[in-house]
């Protein structure tokens, strides 16, 4: 029996129930209901005029980059209606709220009272309207001037015995300009402690792709998606999280392409799709997208991929020279012999059995892979958040390399990014493990010695704060407490900090579970007009396919007091660094072109940045894998040998994945419905296979506790409604962030430190 236990509500995770309603699981996505539901959201929050203005500018050339996902916009023809989806509209509505909260609001409500609200209720309060401070021992945020706030931060940072006692987190909405300035400030101050949301997201992809293909980004363009013969979608729910991707899949199908979906759940958008911007199709009922649906057990993707590799080898042995792309393999890769040796020791039948997928389905998909050459594999969090996540991605690279499916039209890797500028933030140097070349360029351009020692990733940062080694926590956006694993442990870590600072647009739980002193610095969002020194500014971002383009806010900011992220960093840097280095922060904040000129000097691929970012649609960054040039140690693409999942799951245990509902953006809860999955009005649910429900002898919709035990600590998620759902036996699913209490902070992917948010071993316990 473990001695320590984390359980039960509190300010970290208030427990509140909705009124659950169930509907049949939907297999169609988008179409009329989607647009209707999104439209209602916009009108609730914005004036009709500004709503229309915003939507028409969304993802248009020269318009606003949608703060939703990182899916690219078409290079050529964009819909005149605007390139938006239901969830993009919700993202806009959430940010562009007219309602605002200022010091008057915080006088009326204590922090402890606010912490009793759910995340959904917090989001509805409105935009943060002025800088706020919570003094040690107080339960009220009060107003503070910007200059006082900067002085307070500077005082704390100067008092630390080393810059490495400060941690600077970034979420992925921060623009290139703000991200570049931020990392410059942090490194000039003296640390590489720059953890970001990417550590919890596509870090496993970055690690696996850099090692095997020499570039941590995907290789395909939208045109490739349209031209592919086969697209395999693994561990991703595009209908909810990247709805605009469905249009690309539909184009692929129209060109004769086939789609294989690998997922423990029959997700709506994967099965059928109606383009909301195509009225005729809405009437006719949409396109069947998926040709073969493989309902895999959670965390058995290496087994499936390895089974396909074995079958390919067998076919190659029967028809030598016809199955593998030998000319590509010989000229561009390394390690084929060891891979073949390894595959010969594997038993394809056993691997297939391990996936839980019927054999005929695995073979049906295999036929498509065998008989086509232009293959793209798309993936997201279903592959990246496991102990063997890096192996998942290395194994899919093996498949593409055997087929020569990389760096050719219609073929390649497609890790589908999450936050709208998470890829750009990394390009700008938001990374705890900067490359020496990057630091050398910073040194050359700005004439200071950047720190060389690697900093903390997210999971290291949590431990450091808990152990007293991280004393000041600064967050450029995001919601660290709710997004990270082990909510109670992380809460304690944050409370032990001397100072926590959040640059934010909206109130969230990380403001309410805070350090001894806490600051909230309210900033402009993507949709807001940004005027500096009398001049309207625009920012730039990089999408999932490496296109850098501009984004310019169109709406009047909710309060005149708000500052842009760039301005906040510049003023903080001046206050903290004084004359330590010779950088004119003020000048850069007055004119973002000057920041872009510096980016051009430091980061390869940004030549003529100011000129090219002004071209409609922006420009592509160089991508070596796309050119079949592999920038690895040997200058070859690398075959690797990968490990199957080795979860030690007991008889009475299940493997739990945390997933997003249709009505949320990460920790921002837009609404209480998960419409496509037919679960309405309730987030405290655990989706289970009917046979597992029977095995646990649960009554219909019985309220249960879900428990995980790692490193001697029992973690209890109290009060979740057990629901029968089409999910493989032995697997179950709960929503992120409510289920984060169960994810242990010390368990993460080998080699990438991404928490195991998609494979937590749990028990279902009856409530006494």
Ligand X SMILES: Nc1nc2c(c(=O)[nH]1)N[C@H]1C(S)=C(S)[C@@H](COP(=O)(O)OP(=O)(O)OC[C@H]3O[C@@H](n4cnc5c(=O)[nH]c(N)nc54)[C@H](O)[C@@H]3O)O[C@H]1N2
Helix axes 359-371, 301-318, angle to 10 degrees: 60
Q: Read out DSSP for 96-156?
A: S-S-EE-HHHHHHS-HHHHTTS-HHHHHHT-EE-S-EEE-TT-SS-EE--HHHHHHHHHHH
234 binds, among Mo ion, ligand X, none (CB under 5 to 8 A by kind): ligand X
The 10 Å Cβ neighbour count of residue 623 is 19
Distance (Å) of CA 628 to CA 27, 338, 640, 723: 38, 22, 18, 48
Cβ distance to ligand X smaller for residue 91 or 343? 91
Q: Does 68 bind Mo ion (CB under 5 A)?
A: no
Cβ proximity to ligand X, 329 vs 396, nearer residue: 396
Map tokens 């695995």 to a residue. 362
**Can you give the binding site for ligand X, defined by CB under 6 A?**
68-69, 87, 171-173, 197, 200-201, 234-237, 240-242, 262-265, 267, 296, 298-299, 301, 380-382, 385, 418-419, 476-480, 483, 503-506, 508, 523, 525-526, 565, 657-660, 664-668, 736, 740, 743, 757-758
Residue linked to tokens 């000048």: 587
Instruction: Name the residue nearer to ligand X (CB basis): 263 or 689.
Output: 263
378 binds, among ligand X, Mo ion, none (CB under 5 to 8 A by kind): none
- Binding mask 363-402 toward Mo ion (x if CB under 5 A, else -) reads ----------------------------------------
Residue 338: CB atoms within 10 Å: 12
In whole angstroms, the minimum distance from the beta carbon of 316 to ligand X comes to 26
Give the residue from 676, 657, 679, 660 showing the smallest Cα distance to 724: 679
Q: 496 is written with which tokens?
A: 């032990």
Own/partner contacts of 333-336, CB < 8 Å, gap of 24 or more, are 333/401, 333/636, 333/637, 333/638, 333/639, 334/634, 334/636, 334/637, 334/638, 334/639, 335/638, 335/639, 335/640, 336/639
User: Smallest distance from the beta carbon of 269 to ligand X, in angstroms?
Assistant: 10
Question: Of the candidates 714, 485, 749, 716, which has an alpha carbon nearest to the alpha carbon of residue 642?
Answer: 749
**Looking at beta carbons only, is 202 or 342 nearer to Mo ion?**
202
Q: Which does 667 bind (CB under 5 to 8 A by kind): ligand X, Mo ion, none?
A: ligand X
Closer residue to ligand X, CB minimum distance, 310 or 539 = 539
Which strands form 412-415's sheet, in the order they lie side by side?
292-294, 258-262, 230-234, 375-379, 412-415
How far apart are the C-alpha atoms of 197 and 417, rounded to whole Å? 11
State the minimum distance, in angstroms, from the CB of residue 505 to Mo ion: 18
Q: Which is nearer to ligand X, 242 or 753 (CB)?
A: 242
DSSP 416-440: ---BTTHHHHHHTT--SS--HHHHH
Residue 455 near residue 194 (C-beta atoms within 8 A): yes
The pair of structure tokens assigned to 571 is: 């003023």
Tell me how far, at minimum, the Cβ of 492 lies from ligand X, in Å: 18
- How far apart are CB 632 and ligand X at their closest, in Å? 26
Shortest spacing between CB 23 and ligand X, in angstroms: 18
Instruction: Work out what residue 596 binds among ligand X, Mo ion, none; the CB cut-off runs from 5 to 8 Å by kind.
Output: none
Give whichever of 197 and 647 is closer to Mo ion, judged by the CB atom: 197
CA dihedral 217, 223, 226, 227 (to 10 degrees): -100
CB of 88 to ligand X, least distance (A): 8
Which residue's CB comes closest to Mo ion? 418
208 vs 323 by CB, closer to ligand X? 208
Q: How far is the CB of 423 from ligand X (least distance, A)?
A: 11
For ligand X, the closer of residues 185 and 328 by Cβ is 185
Instruction: Report the alpha-carbon distance of residue 104 to residue 336 in Å, rounded.
Output: 67
Instruction: Give least dist CB 574 to ligand X, A.
Output: 19
Which of the listed partners (ligand X, Mo ion, none) does 457 bind, with a CB threshold of 5 to 8 Å by partner kind? Answer: none
**Closest approach of ligand X to the CB of residue 667, in Å:** 3
Determine the Cα–Cα distance for residues 692 and 702; give it in Å rounded to an integer: 13
Query: Is the Cβ of residue 175 or residue 241 nearer to Mo ion in the bound state?
Result: 241
Quick one: which segment of 151-159, 262-270, 328-336, 410-418 binds Mo ion (CB under 5 A)?
A: 410-418
For residue 758, give every residue at least 6 positions away whose Cβ sits within 8 Å of its Cβ, in sequence order, or none.
235, 298, 299, 381, 382, 385, 386, 657, 658
Instruction: Please pick, from the candidates 201, 260, 307, 761, the single residue that binds Mo ion as defined by CB under 5 A.
Output: 201
For 262, residues 6+ apart whose C-beta sits below 8 A from its C-beta are 232, 233, 234, 235, 294, 296, 301, 304
**Shortest Å, Cβ 479 to Mo ion:** 12
Query: CA 735 to CA 653: how far, in whole Å?
Result: 18
Q: Which is nearer to ligand X, 192 or 385 (CB)?
A: 385
C-beta of 665 vs 720, nearer to Mo ion: 665
In whole angstroms, what is the distance from residue 524 CA to residue 557 CA? 7
Taking the complex as a whole, the smallest distance from the CB of residue 71 to ligand X amounts, in Å, to: 8
Which region among 310-318, 366-374, 412-420, 493-501 touches Mo ion (by CB under 5 A)?
Answer: 412-420
**Strand (E) or helix (H) holding 305:** helix 301-318
Q: Which of 276, 418, 728, 755 binds Mo ion (CB under 5 A)?
A: 418
For ligand X, which is the closer residue by CB, 102 or 600? 102
CB of 233 vs ligand X, minimal distance in Å: 9
Residues that bind Mo ion (CB under 5 A): 201, 418
């Amino acid at each position: 029996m473990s001695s320590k236990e984390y359980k039960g509500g509190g300010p970290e995770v208030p427990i509140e129930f909705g009124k659950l309603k169930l509907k049949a699981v939907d297999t169609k996505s988008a179409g009329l209901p989607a647009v209707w539901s999104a439209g209602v959201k916009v009108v609730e929050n914005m004036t009709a005029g500004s709503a229309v203005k915003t939507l028409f500018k969304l993802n248009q050339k020269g318009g606003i980059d949608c703060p939703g996902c990182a899916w690219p916009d078409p290079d050529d023809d964009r819909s005149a209606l605007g390139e938006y989806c239901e969830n993009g509209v919700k993202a806009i509505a959430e940010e562009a709220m007219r309602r605002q909260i200022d010091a008057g609001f915080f006088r009326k409500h204590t922090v402890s009272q606010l912490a009793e609200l759910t995340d959904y209720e917090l989001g509805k309060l409105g935009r943060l309207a002025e800088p706020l401070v919570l003094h040690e021992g107080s339960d009220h945020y009060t107003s503070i001037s910007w200059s006082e706030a900067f002085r307070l931060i500077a005082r704390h940072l100067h008092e630390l015995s080393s810059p490495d006692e400060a941690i600077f987190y970034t979420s992925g909405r921060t623009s290139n300009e703000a991200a570049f300035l931020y990392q410059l400030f942090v490194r000039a101050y003296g640390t590489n402690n720059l953890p970001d949301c990417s550590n919890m997201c596509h870090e496993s992809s970055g690690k696996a792709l850099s090692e095997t293909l020499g570039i941590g980004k995907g290789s395909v363009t939208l045109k490739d998606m349209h031209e592919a013969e086969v697209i395999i979608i693994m561990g991703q729910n595009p209908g909810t999280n990247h709805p605009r991707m469905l249009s690309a899949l539909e184009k692929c199908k129209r060109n004769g392409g086939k789609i294989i979906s690998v997922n423990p759940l029959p997700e709506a958008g994967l099965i059928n799709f109606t383009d909301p911007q195509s009225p005729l199709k809405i009437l006719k009922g949409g396109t069947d997208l998926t040709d073969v649906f493989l309902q895999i057990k959670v965390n058995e993707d290496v087994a499936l991929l390895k089974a396909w590799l074995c079958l390919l080898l067998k076919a190659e042995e029967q028809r030598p020279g016809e199955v593998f792309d030998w000319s590509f393999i010989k000229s561009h890769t390394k390690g084929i012999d060891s891979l073949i040796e390894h595959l010969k020791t594997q038993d394809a039948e056993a691997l297939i059995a391990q996936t839980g997928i019927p054999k005929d389905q695995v073979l049906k998909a295999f036929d498509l892979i065998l008989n086509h050459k232009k293959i793209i594999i798309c993936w997201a969090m279903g592959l990246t958040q496991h102990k063997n996540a890096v192996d998942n991605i290395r194994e899919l690279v093996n498949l593409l390399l055997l087929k020569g499916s990389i760096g050719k039209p219609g073929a390649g890797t497609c890790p589908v990014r999450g936050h709208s500028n998470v890829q750009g933030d990394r390009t700008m140097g938001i990374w705890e493990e900067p490359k020496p070349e990057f630091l050398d360029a910073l040194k050359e351009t700005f004439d200071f010695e950047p720190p060389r020692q690697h900093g903390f990733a997210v999971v290291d940062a949590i431990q450091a704060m808990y152990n007293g080694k991280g004393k000041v926590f600064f967050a450029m956006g995001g919601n660290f407490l709710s997004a990270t694993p082990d909510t109670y442990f992380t809460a304690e870590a944050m409370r032990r900090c001397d100072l926590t600072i959040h640059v934010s647009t909206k109130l969230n739980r990380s403001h309410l579970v805070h350090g001894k002193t806490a600051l909230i610095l309210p900033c402009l969002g993507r949709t807001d007009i940004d005027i500096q020194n009398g001049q309207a500014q625009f920012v730039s971002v990089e999408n999932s396919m490496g296109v850098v383009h501009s984004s310019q806010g169109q709406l009047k900011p909710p309060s005149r007091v708000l500052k842009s992220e760039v301005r906040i960093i510049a003023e903080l840097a001046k206050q903290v660094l004084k004359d330590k280095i010779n950088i004119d922060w003020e000048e850069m904040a007055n004119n973002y072109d000057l920041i872009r000129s510096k980016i051009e000097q430091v980061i390869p691929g940004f030549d003529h940045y100011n000129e090219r970012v002004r071209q409609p649609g922006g420009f592509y960054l160089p991508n070596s894998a796309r050119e079949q040039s592999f920038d690895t140690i040997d200058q070859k693409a690398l075959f690797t040998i990968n490990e199957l999942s080795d979860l030690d799951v007991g008889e009475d245990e299940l493997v739990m994945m945390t997933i997003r509902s249709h009505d949320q953006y990460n920790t921002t809860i837009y609404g209480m419905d998960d419409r496509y999955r037919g679960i309405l009005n309730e987030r405290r649910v655990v989706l289970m296979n009917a046979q597992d429900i029977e095995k646990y002898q649960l009554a219909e919709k019985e309220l249960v506790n879900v428990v995980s035990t790692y490193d001697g600590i029992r973690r209890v998620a109290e009060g979740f409604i057990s629901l029968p759902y089409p999910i493989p036996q032995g697997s179950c699913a709960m929503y992120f962030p409510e289920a984060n209490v169960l994810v242990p902070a010390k368990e993460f992917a080998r080699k990438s430190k991404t928490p195991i948010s998609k494979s937590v071993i749990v028990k279902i316990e009856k409530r006494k």
